Amino acid sequence: MVLELKTRKIGNSIGVIFPNEIIKKEHIRPNQTIGIQIIKKADLRDIFGLVKTKQTAQEIKDELRKGWD
């Protein structure tokens, strides 16, 4: 199951709050140990403009379309 949750400041820590429907579906109880996989989403503003090319977007598209016939 993949959830998209926002982190929140809780005291000196950062935490996440699970929606009630997920808690019920997964039978999560207080003080229960669960495993979480963390995947940070890339912000497009961080990567925008990093790829430099002398070709226009149209030239790149035309080149990629060669051989589709």
> Is 3 part of any domain?
no
Residue 1 falls inside a structural domain:
no
pLDDT along the chain (69 residues), means of 10: 87 93 93 88 68 81 82
Identify the pLDDT of residue 48. 67
Which backbone phi and psi does 3 adopt, to 5 degrees?
Answer: -120, 150
56 within some domain: yes
32 located within any domain = yes
Cα-Cα-Cα-Cα dihedral sign, residues 38, 39, 45, 46: positive
How many domains, in total, are found in the chain?
Answer: 1
Task: Say what the pLDDT of residue 50 is.
Answer: 64
Q: Which domain holds residue 24?
A: 8-65
SS3 sequence of the chain: CCCCCCCEEECCEEECCCCHHHHHHHCCCCCCCCCCCCCCCCCHHHHCCCCCCCCCHHHHHHHHHCCCC
